[in-house]
Structure 1
């Protein structure tokens, strides 16, 4: 059951025609679209109005109205809400481009410096907290753009959730509070036909995994200026193109890229009945009811949940098969 808590939420719910909730691995991916029957009413909720969203007893997040549109035939209002704990006017400059630099700073400190001034609490996964970066530049980038770029270097996701900014490795089952996210398990119905409301469709890319088993990178020695190499994993090696500042940074970059190579398996697209606990930071398990080629554990990259009225109908999951 779809629930909405906020100003005039009962009126919105009573006239709700359809909804779509998208949860993605990134700062711009999370949004909620509401289509509302507006027969006999002229009022439109203002931009910036906040609503807490639940699916059943699962709290999805707090969203605020960022876009509005209306239609005459049929009479309806469409609202687009995004996860945004800051004012629609962006008084703190969260989306303003700026430049700064860090020297010998931990990843946790960099995240803190970027998000605390905008009112966020933050959570950096323990695997990443103490990574020390000798030098890092933010050049004419907004806070979300910069952190998204930084997250990609460490095969991580950086995004605001419930007023907290999370920075966690992709596939790690951690919520915004740092608590484990429940893995969901899908089972193929015995009658898996399109006439069955529990029908599941699934497609997979058979050649998604990288052919590399290791990563190598170069850095320049401060002692004599020589160009030195570090490796992680085994042959064949993937070469990281840009030289790193020092040995530690090169080792960290190799470890992050190797983790990404090992994590990335077949790309999977799943269409199934809605599971309220499906989150982009979580895991979906395809159990033994599926043909063997499809079975395994998947890291959820994005999930879109749809509903008609208050009833959830279908979800579409983009995921990566990471193991059995």
Structure 2
């Protein structure tokens, strides 16, 4: 996607006229994993009588006048923080539709036992009771769970613990709650994400509209390529080990209730270790096509050790009334030397 030169941001939904007229700066965090997406707006209140009521749902469209805007979704206002000298208001909104009244008891702590079941069936049971529409990746849905206890935990906390255990992503988007592998090329809400090609200009320098900077990190902890997990064999009354991947092995010390659980946890750990081997942080011109769970392709204008496909874990986009628009990308890759292709 070719980028224009005139950044444009548009707020829609509740109080859109006031927010658009008085917007000073904005920040949108689009993150993979269990972290909810967040929108932060700074609004000028000078000349207004009293503090306006700015609740409800708001949406964000961002892009360039020359190439059009992209809808980044809707958010529910969760926090208002006024300040004096200058008289401003910081508004924070999240994509998770939780209300302070908590009509469905999503924040209520529960104790229950589950199993035998599958991860998909348990996830659907937990989120459907709160009015969410569950969406589960097919391979994730079939992960077997022999037994697991929910011990004085909220349903949200329990879902987060399940996601961490099996190294999958559980995340709410408006009225949809999704469960899938990290790093997929489709967004968790089901929309197909574009592969964004990023180039470095020949005259790359700070202050230039197209300036790009990046840092690469190779994790020493990610040198392990396998995982050892254990489970209790009740029939033989012994604890057994399961090895996944190849040496050197990382050991997960917490015993699993069954061989199937041990295998699932081990496979998830191996995928996580491979994804975390290389990390890159890129600061670049704002591009509305950049999104968590998508791919950024660093082409042959980059040094050879950074070229290739990188899985986006987080995008922090921001701008202000001076019309600046920049993105910070946090991404992971198995092999940054892989050739970038369209």
User: By the TM > 0.5 criterion, same fold?
Assistant: yes
Residue 20 of structure 1: aligned partner: 27
Q: Is 1:199 aligned to residue 211 of structure 2?
A: yes
What is the alpha-carbon distance in structure 1 between the residues aligned to residue 122 and residue 54 of structure 2? 32
Distance 2:174 2:57 in 1: 12
What's 1:39 paired with?
46
How big is each residue's C-alpha offset from its partner over 1:213-240, in whole Å with a ceiling of 9 and x where there is no partner?
Answer: 2222222223221222222222222222
Question: RMSD of aligned C-alpha atoms?
Answer: 1.9
> Where does structure 2 lack aligned partners over 5 or more consecutive residues?
1-7, 64-68
Unaligned runs of 5+ in 1: none
Q: 1:7 aligns with which of 5, 9, 14?
A: 14
Distance in 1 between residues matched to 2:130 and 2:73, nearest whole Å: 18
Aligned residues: 324
- C-alpha contact (below 8 Å) 1:305/1:315 kept by paired residues: yes
Instruction: Kindly report which structure 2 residues correspond to 1:206-221, keeping only aligned pairs within 5 A, or say none.
Output: 206-208=218-220, 210-221=222-233
Question: Match for residue 297 of structure 2?
Answer: 285
**The residue matched to 2:116 in structure 1 has which SS?**
strand
CA distances 1:161-200 after superposition (whole Å, capped 9, x unpaired): 1321111111112223434322222111121100311101
Counterpart position of 2:156:
144
Q: 2:100 aligns with which of 77, 88, 112?
A: 88
Partner SS state of residue 41, structure 1: coil
| Whole-angstrom distance in 1 between the partners of 2:188 and 2:225 | 32
Match of 1:225 among 212, 237, 260: 237
Q: Is the 8 A contact 1:47 1:64 kept in 2?
A: no
Distance 1:312 1:125, change over 3 A: farther
* Cα pair 2:15 2:54 within 8 Å, conserved: no
**TM-score (norm. length: structure 2):** 0.88
Distance 1:80 1:73, change over 3 A: same
Q: Is the 8 A contact 1:19 1:309 kept in 2?
A: no
1:79 aligned residue (87, 91, 98):
91
Hey, what's the Cα distance between the residues in 1 that align with 2:232 and 2:159?
A: 26
Sort the Cα spacing of 1:28 and 1:90 in 2 relative to 1 into closer, same or farther, 3 A: farther
